[in-house]
Chain A
Amino acid sequence: MNPPGPLEKEDEHLSTPILGPSVHSDNPQERIQARRLRIAARLEARRREALGECLDGKKESEEDQSKSYKQKEESRLKLAKLLLCGTELVTNIQVATDIREIQRRVEEEEIKRQRLEKLENEVKTSQDKFDEITAKWEEGKQKKIAQDLWDMLNTQQLHCAGLIEDKNKLISELQQELKTKDDQYVKDLKKQADDICLLLERMEEQVKNVMKTFRQELSHIEKAYEVERQELLSSNKKKWERALQAHNTKELEYLVNRIKKVEEYEKQLSKQRIWDCEEYNTIKIKLEQDVQILEQQLQQMKATYQLNQEKLEYNFQVLKKRDEESTVIKSQQKRKINRLHDILNNLRSRYTKQIKQFQEENQSLTLDYKRLVMQFKELQRAMRHFALIDEEKFREIWLMNEEEAKDLIGRAFDVDRIIHTHHLGLPWTAPDFWFLKNIGPISQQPRKSATEIVEEVLMQTEEEGSEETMSEPESYLDLPKQVSAKTTRKVLMLLCDESGFLIESKLLSLLLPLEKSECYLLRLDAIFSALGIESEDDLYKLVNFFVKYRAHHLPSGQENQISSITDKRSYHTSKKSWLSELAKSRSHNERSSVMAAPESVEKLPVEAGKKKNLSEGKQEVQSSPRLIHPNDVLKALEAFVMGLNKPRDPRTPLKKRKEVRDDSKDSEYWKALTMVIPPAKQNLWDALYTALEKYHLILTERAKLLLENDSLEQQNTELQMLLQQYLDSKINSELQVPPTQVFRVPTK
């Protein structure tokens, strides 16, 4: 068993370097050892302390400052060491017991193992022996002879006794061991008691020791403090005394110095006094003189003062007078100002009144003006309206009259033809006059506006894809001869693309959602309005200008372009002539159908037109890059606008002339209409009329005679009928003599 463990709680501190041999020795020796250890530990502690001090420079410097601190630190380290060593010394016992216990355990284990081995061996051998004995029993049973049996029994007995003896021996051995163990236990108990005693002793010693050393160290520290205090006191006292002495000597020095200085100052003072007195006297005399002079001056000054005062008085009076005068003038001026102010106000009011009046007047006048303008506009509108109506009416009346006249002329011609063919037996030819073909009033064709043309052109080009050829001839009718529609279109497109700056941005934004062609149209409209192009002519001028401009600037591309143009022109002319011929051939039968003719006939030249178109297209494709370069468009445009502005002025009369109808040819026309039948023919007709009258009379007489003949013939037949009736009647038969017999009817 271990000693009950109060020691477990103790901390095991740093181990001392020397311990080993003392553990297993007896108590006194161990005690001596322990003391030695302690002494060694203390020595070492001091040594280490010194070492620590050497190592720690900071501490050293601190220790230099105070002995007490040094002592304190020293004591602390010493005590720490002491405590460490003490606890170690005490715990050494525990450690020793621990190791003893471990050794004991190891030994015990070994012994146990040996014992077990031994027991096992014993068991084995005894088992063998027992087996032998039991085997012999079997043997013995077979023995018949008593002698043998007895012998065998004897031997068996011997064997058994041996076995038992062995066992007994073992038991006694074990018991012996047990006894020794008991002894060991007692010894252990004693040892434990001893250990505890030792432990207690050491502890007590440690406590005493610690107490002693603590006291010692405390006294040391106190002493150190005392010494330090004494030292401090003495040193301070010395300092104080030294300081006092120094102070005293200095005081003395100062005193002596002061006395010396006082004497010096006194001397100086007396000197100064004498000097001052002298100076005072001289100054006094001087000052008195000065005073006299000043008094004289004062008198003089007073005199001048008097004089000046009088002068000033006079001046003051004068100024007062003047002041009064000026006040009077001031008041006058004020009054004047007031009056003028009043006038100004009056004028102002009048001015405002007048302004108001004029404003009103102005307003009324503007209103009048507006009203008049409105009226004028209305009048204009009405006039335009009436002009239109008039024109229409005029046209209608014209047409009506014309129709009537033509009707009459037709009848006349019919009559003439009948006369010629039936009565005279002559062939008749219809007379050909220019006025016969005329329909409607004789006048110039109305001019189209530039935009209309453009629209036309564009529409036409748009339609080109589907019915290119169909629309072509119609459009070319309107175009001037120099320029083709395509060129125009190209030029216009170019213009549209390049001069977008002329269009308002608002319009552009509005145009965005529209179709391409419409967009172009509107754009061009805007551009034209900006450029001042209004009429067809202007447009053609523009196109021509462009073409020329390009031709002028691009002589290489000129020929081609011109050739294409001429080509087209020839085509147009041929087509036109062909059309007029066709119209003439038809005019005999239906004059009115002339207008519709081109439409119906158009189909014929389609073939020819197509071919030409193809070649034209090619040429166009070739010539298109030779069109005016987009960069030059602006220059050209500028030049054109400059040129256009010049003939702008005489445009107003041109407009007026447009409105007045040219009626010079009308009377001529109408007269010509009346003169359709020439006078020679009228004479002929008169002669013919009289002759025919006569022929008519004869014919009427003949007709009367024929009628008479007819009536007579009828009477004859009636009479024959009546006769027949009589002959056929029954009375005749009854009659004795029938009449029939009488006579014979000549008719049968």
Chain B
Amino acid sequence: MQDNLTPQLMPAFSRPSDTAQDQSTTGKATSTAPQPVNPTVLIPPIKSKGLNASNVRRMRRIIAEDAEWSLAIVPLLSELCIQHIVKNFQNNPVLKQLLPEHQQKVLDHLSPDLPLTVTANLIEDENYWRRCCAQRWVCHVARHGGSWKRMFFERHLENLLKQFIPGTTDPTVILDLLPLCKNYVRRIQVDQFLHPSVSAPPRDGDQSDSGSEGEMEEYSTDHYQLRDLVAGLKHLEELDLVYGVKDCGMNFEWNLFLFTYHDCHSLAATIKACHTLKVFRLTRSRVDDDKARILIRSLLDHPALEELDLSHNLIGDRGVRAAAKLLSHSRLRVLNLANNQVRAPGAQSLAHALAHNTNLVTLNLRLNCIEDEGGQALAHALQTNKCLTTLHLGGNELSEPTATLLSQVLSVNTVLTSINLSCNHIGLDGGKQLLEGMSDNKTLLEFDLRLSDVAQESEYLIGQALQANREAARQRALNPSHFMSPTTNGPENPAG
């Protein structure tokens, strides 16, 4: 409403501003003080929403007496001053010196298009930044720690990075932003890095459908180097990168998704230097064994790292072995290796590391091919592990032997809350054994057995056991935390 009103009032305020200037010394002190103007000149009812109640009362009384009421009123001097400040904010940013209520007014009227050099370090007000964000994107502020300002800078930086073309775009565009945003950016989430050869046409995913670019195999240089940027951001906690191009459609070329060795080394040095980093994601970037080893080596004994996500890459057993080593040399809590090329040896090395690990909470090995050998090794490790709560082994060609061992684990382990075995070949007998194991377990809350050839009956019974466990957990927590977990996941679905 406020925004709608201002343009209407603007002409009215601006005109008498010159005359009102003389009275500013007296009238500025208090807005509720008796007006020096003619009693007939009164505040219009439209404006009453913005002002306080006393004015409203007086206004009503006088309307009844004065028939010659005019809209052309003289606004308060303070209002006029604020108008002026707002108008000239870009050249002369005056904010901190004002009274709090005036500050609020100024902030309410500032345009979101003001240059960041002026606003970035001056304005803390969330409302202003909310307007800035709302103007540009559909926003989910919850994903940026509930801070609109942080969200603005993160999204802004993300956009810049996404559209950065090495060789053609000036790197100062990003580095100029660095001093402005270094205090606010905690996460960099970039889901595409443009290739230098993709010169002009594919600005963004929207245009790529037209399919105008044809030749890309001229020279394949590297992507944007994050090193300088990351070194400047002192609060950076999360790095979410995809070395690839979004929505390339039929213009697909392997080159677009090439994560070069130079990129890899540079990225490794970057994350090694960033001691505040907690979450590192590098997905869909065709990271193979060697690159994974380079990256993981740089992460060994990292002081803060808690989550490592290398899903949708080409990591084989050697890379996984390095990751297993990382498990024992860091405080990693979440490890995601979904959709890689992990086979039995890799899973065994992971299991070996897992057996005595006390940090890892979540392990995701979806869409790999660890087979029974690896599955059994992991199950053995789970018998001694006392920390892991979530395990995803969907689509791993597992079958009955693993199920047998897992059923033993279920009856022993009291930490696991979620297991996913979907898309495996557990078989009818395996299902029965898992059901037996479930009958002794009181902690497991989720157990996915979809499309794993398990008899419907046992699946149903397992479901009932889980239901009972969940009820028990709910009773334990004495608050509807059980409800919360699905609902919090709810909004994420449409966002993706």
Q: Which residues of A contact B (CB under 8 A)?
A: 2, 4-15, 17-20, 23, 48, 52, 76, 79-80, 83-84, 87-88, 90, 92, 95-96, 98-99, 101-102, 185-186, 189, 200, 203-204, 206-207, 210
Contact = CB atoms under 8 A, between A and B. Distances in A.
Given A8-B311, A84-B486, A98-B367, A90 B446 contact: no
Contacts of A15: 422, 448-450, 459, 463
B422 A83 contact: no
Main secondary structure of the interface of B (DSSP, over half): mixed
Main secondary structure of the interface of A (DSSP, over half): helix
Contact of A2 (B339, B467, B485, B495): B339
Nearest to B244: A4
Given A9-B492, A14-B463, A15-B459, A99 B451 contact: yes
Interface in B381-422: 394-395, 397, 418, 420, 422
B451 A23 contact: yes
Contact of B422 (A8, A87, A95): A95
B89 interface: no
A542 B467 CA distance: 118
B41 to A, nearest CB: 50
B279 to A, nearest CB: 13
Contact of A92 (B367, B450, B487): B450
A102 B395 contact: yes
Interface string B471-490: 10000000010110111011
B30 interface: no
Contact of A207 (B395, B466, B486, B494): B494
Nearest to A196: B496
A18 B451 CA distance: 10
A94 to B, nearest CB: 9
Given A12-B446, A14-B463, A102-B367, A95 B485 contact: no
A95 B249 CA distance: 24
B496 A6 contact: yes
A98 B494 contact: no
A363 B493 CA distance: 130
Interface in B445-460: 446-451, 456, 459-460
24 contacts: A4-B284, A5-B496, A6-B495, A6-B496, A9-B496, A11-B418, A11-B486, A12-B394, A12-B422, A12-B446, A13-B448, A17-B459, A17-B460, A76-B483, A80-B482, A83-B483, A83-B487, A95-B422, A99-B395, A102-B367, A102-B397, A189-B250, A200-B494, A207-B490
B338 interface: yes
Interface string B355-392: 00000000010110000000000000000000000000
B353 interface: no
Given A4-B284, A6-B496, A210-B490, A95 B394 contact: yes
Nearest to B257: A1
Contacts of A189: 249-250
B496 A14 contact: no
B420 A10 contact: no
A81 to B, nearest CB: 9
Contacts of A95: 394, 422-423, 448, 450-451
B447 A17 contact: no
Interface centre among A12, A17, A90, A99 (most CB of B within 10 A): A12
Interface in B218-259: 249-250, 252
Nearest to A185: B252
B312 interface: yes
B318 to A, nearest CB: 20
Nearest to B246: A4
Contacts of B466: 14
Contacts of A23: 451
Interface centre among A76, A80, A185, A200 (most CB of B within 10 A): A80
A383 to B, nearest CB: 116
Contacts of A210: 490
Give the contact-size bracket for chain B: 35 or more
Contacts of A4: 284
A55 B249 CA distance: 55
Nearest to A96: B451
Interface centre among B283, B395, B450, B480 (most CB of A within 10 A): B450
Contacts of A87: 486, 489
Contacts, number: 115
Contacts of B495: 6
B420 A101 contact: no
A12 B450 contact: yes
A17 B456 contact: yes
Interface string B285-315: 0000000000000000000000000011000
A9 B489 contact: yes
Contacts of B492: 6, 9-10
A284 to B, nearest CB: 87
A13 B451 contact: no
Contacts of B487: 83
Given A2-B339, A11-B486, A98 B423 contact: yes
A205 to B, nearest CB: 11
A18 B456 contact: yes
Contacts of B450: 12, 15, 19, 88, 92, 95
A5 B493 contact: no
A8 B367 CA distance: 11
Given A15-B448, A200-B494, A2 B312 contact: yes
A384 B466 CA distance: 131
Contacts of B422: 12, 15, 95, 98
A14 B467 contact: yes
Contact of A203 (B339, B446, B494): B494
A80 B395 contact: no
A683 to B, nearest CB: 155
Contacts of B467: 14, 48
Contact of B366 (A11, A88, A98, A200): A98
A23 to B, nearest CB: 7
Given A5-B311, A9-B496, A20 B451 contact: yes
Nearest to A84: B486
Nearest to B283: A5
Nearest to B419: A12
B7 to A, nearest CB: 36
A96 B394 CA distance: 11
A80 B170 CA distance: 52
A99 B397 CA distance: 10
B395 A98 contact: yes
B423 A13 contact: no
A4 B496 CA distance: 9
A12 B367 CA distance: 15
A418 B154 CA distance: 175
Contact of A83 (B249, B312, B418, B486): B486
Nearest to B454: A15
